[in-house]
Structures are given as C-alpha cells and as structure tokens.
Amino acid sequence: MSGEDFVALSGLQHLVFCERQAALIHVERLWREDAATAAGRVLHERADLRGKDVRGSVRVERAVLLACERLGLSGRADTVEYHPDPSAPGGFRPFPVEYKRGKAKMLLADRVQLCGQALCLEEMHGLAVPEGALFYGESHRRVAVRFDAELRAATEAAAQRLRHLLATRSVPRVVRQPKCERCSLEPLCLPAVTADGGDASRYLATLSQGEGLE
C-alpha cells in the first residue's frame, strides 16, 4: 500500500462526529479555525513536542508516528507510554495517550480515534494494546479507555467508511443536529441550506421575503 492510500487517524474522530464534516475536511480540504479548535491546536502543539523521557519505570515518547497497513491508517500519537510488562516482547507494552481540549467526557469519536492509534501500535509492535487514555485539558485529568471488541469494531468500520468517502470523493448531505452549532465548519457547511429539501426551501423563502436579513 502506497502512502497515498492511507487515511489520517484524525479523520476517524471527524467521521464519527459527523460524516459530512469528515468529507469537507478530508475530501474537499476545507478548514476553519474558531476559538475551540484554536485551543485544541495549542494543546496539541504543547503535547507534540518530539522527544522522550522516563518517568519512574515508564518510558514516554511524544509525537510518535503511527501506521496500520491493514486498515490503511497513518498519523501521529500525542504520547505513547511504554509500561513495563514481563509478558510483552522487549518487556514493555505501549499505552497511547491522546490530548483533548475541554472537560473530561466519553465521546465515541474520541475513543475511536484513540483506538485507531492502538491498532497501529499493535501492528507496528506485534503485540496486544488493551488500553489507553484520553487527557482532557480543562479538567486536567485522564479518562481510561479499554479497547474492547465493540470499540475495535466501531473503529474498523469508521476506517472503512472514511476510506470509501475519500475513494469516491463523496460529501454526504447534512443531517442537521444540535451539534452543528458547535462545529467550526458550520459557516462552510451551511446546514440551514443543505440539510434537506424542506429546510432549503424554507431558508430560501425567508431570503426572498427579506426575513433574517440585516
């Protein structure tokens, strides 16, 4: 598989959050930064300073390049901790840690992205990676994530769907939801216009009548 055939690990989070958002970013190459995405970028920049150190018995590596040929995924882990484990080849087992802005939560999109990192580490190291953690900047705490069969299946399905969108250059129609309001791409996506025929018709009618215009 060539490098062009791989899709970004970060795209898994985008796809599970919203397929249209994923397509706008990874197919149409659109991006718009707002206060929330800027805060997330700063958090990642601090976490992604390349290097390694040792904390007690744990070896810590930052900005680790990852790839999984089986799923066609590539990207970078914010941090991978290598915990001592006598049963693991080499005596250490990888433990990925992904940094996220905001308060601690258990969003499927975040867990799928982290699980994608684990699947890459498993292929790269040839051993099982059963768990990792999400670190939320506002709460300043970790949320442990176990990579069980259900989460692994969701992650593999997301990778397959993302690869399909990129291969077919498909941009799904909007399914308008409350989360649209907190998406940085909302002004580019225009869910009020593109959600469905009824919404579009109503929106255009208000414009023709001069409603909603300043």
Does the residue 126 lie in any domain? yes
Give the whole-angstrom CA distance, residue 120 versus residue 104.
Answer: 24
Does the residue 161 lie in any domain? yes
Each residue's pLDDT, cut to its tens digit, for the chain (214 residues) gives 555 679 999 999 999 998 988 989 999 888 665 545 544 445 545 555 667 899 899 999 999 999 999 999 999 999 999 999 999 988 999 999 999 988 888 889 999 999 999 999 999 999 999 999 999 988 888 999 999 999 999 999 999 999 999 999 998 887 777 777 777 777 777 776 665 544 444 444 444 444 433 3
Does the residue 75 lie in any domain? yes
Instruction: Say how many domains are in the chain.
Output: 1
Does the residue 205 lie in any domain? no
CATH of the domain at 51: 3.90.320.10
Print burial letters for 132-146: b (CB count within 10 Å at least 16), e (below 16): bbbbbbeeeeebebe
Q: For the full predicted model, state whether its pTM sits above 0.85.
A: no
Enclosing domain of residue 116 = 3-172
Print burial letters for 59-70: b (CB count within 10 Å at least 16), e (below 16): beebbbebbbee
Give the whole-angstrom CA distance, residue 45 versus residue 195.
Answer: 35
Does the residue 79 lie in any domain? yes
148, with CB counted inside 10 A (0-12, 13-18, 19+), is exposed
Does the residue 180 lie in any domain? no
